[in-house]
Structure 1
Amino acid sequence: MNRTVEAPNKTIKKILRKMIDNYKDWHEQLPYALLGYRTTARTLTGAIPYLLVYNTEVVIPTEVEIPSFRIIQEAELDDAEWIRKRYEQLGLIDENRMIVVCHGQLYQQIMARAFNKHVRTRLFQVEQLVLKRIFPNQEEYKGKFAPNWQGPYMVQKVLSGGAVVLAEIDGQEWLRAIN
């Protein structure tokens, strides 16, 4: 399954679970759950997607019924002044997008640092015998009762960053390096 679709669906499902009592009327609450999801700031970017596209905040249905200060201010502007203010806002859209890019890079650095705390680096030498782990998402995976390791293999080359080029015991070198 595509992970870019899976994460939002999981989040929307969590929102729906909090909103409904029984599973029969979830479809009636779905528009409200989607509105909540679409108007919430994302952790990675620190911004609401609507804000990044249109450089203005979303007007939720409640604000139409009970006008907020922002809505009252915009309603009192004449057309020419509203257009001028909107044009100024759109001029700042590139600046806002750059702020989001910086925020995303900082977030990725924080996540990488947290992940790398738990990574143990291992140093390999040429001609050392090693086993290769078989992960469930690999082609070699045969099910939960199959072995978790393949090998032994011989380390043919040691590359930077912990990657190695393996070879079969008979000397046949692999085309790809593995990490």
Structure 2
Amino acid sequence: MVIQNYPRTGTGETPFKLAYGTEARLPVETGSPSHRVTNFDEVSNIEGLRTNLELLDEVRDRAVGKMESYKEKTKLYFAKKTRIREYAAGDLVLRDTEASDPANQGKLQPNWEGPYIVKKVIRPGTYKLNYLSETEVPNTWHGTRLRKFYQ
């Protein structure tokens, strides 16, 4: 007979334990005698449940710490894959059409439009653009949505 474990969260704890402070009994344990059932002592069980409830906040805090650690590791993993693109005022760039006009997307549509002139660097990674006719492009643009234009 195979006993299936309850699903565990990313913190290694079951949702039942995070909610109630103790592990639930498996359905198999209710029908057939197991070590847990045959050695049951009501007094020590009540004391154990009280102890588990007292320690529940620590279990939850540890679970929150593990979740935060996991999120930080995930963020660092994906941050390694991003390339920061730096442009200076006067550079020619292409603009991502998905960012400029999300409704005009299709398999055969161009992915980039332009060229545009970088008018001003607002802060690292954020740029103000001009058309080649020197009129200003509305909004600011993030460097991930721009690509250097080579003539």
TM-score by length of 1: 0.60
CA–CA separation in structure 2 for the residues paired with 1:151 and 1:59: 64
Deviation at 1:92, TM superposition (A): 1.1
Residues 164, 177 of structure 1: 8 Å contact kept: yes
Greater RCO (CA < 8 Å, at least 6 residues apart) = 2
Which has the larger Rg? 2
CA–CA separation in structure 2 for the residues paired with 1:64 and 1:135: 57
Counterpart in the other structure of 1:167: 129
In the alignment, does 2:115 pair up with 1:115?
no
Deviation at 1:158, TM superposition (A): 4.3
CA–CA separation in structure 2 for the residues paired with 1:58 and 1:122: 52
User: Aligned letter for 2:28?
Assistant: T
User: Higher helix proportion, which one?
Assistant: 1
Identity score, percent = 27
CA offsets 1:143-163 (integer angstroms, 9 cap, x no match) = 212111233334332424xx3
Counterpart in the other structure of 2:121: 157
Gap change, CA 1:151 and 1:50, over 3 Å in 2: farther
CA–CA separation in structure 2 for the residues paired with 1:53 and 1:153: 56
Gap change, CA 1:56 and 1:146, over 3 Å in 2: same
Structure 1 gap segments, 5+ residues each:
1-35
Counterpart in the other structure of 1:57: 23
Structure 2 gap segments, 5+ residues each:
145-151
Counterpart of 1:51 in 2: which secondary structure?
helix
CA–CA separation in structure 2 for the residues paired with 1:144 and 1:151: 19
User: Aligned letter for 1:76?
Assistant: D
CA–CA separation in structure 2 for the residues paired with 1:165 and 1:72: 71
The worse-fitting range, judged by mean Cα deviation, of 151-160 and 115-124 is: 151-160
In the alignment, does 2:9 pair up with 1:42?
yes
TM-score by length of 2: 0.69
Gap change, CA 1:40 and 1:167, over 3 Å in 2: same
Instruction: Find 2:41's aligned residue among 76, 79, 87.
Output: 76
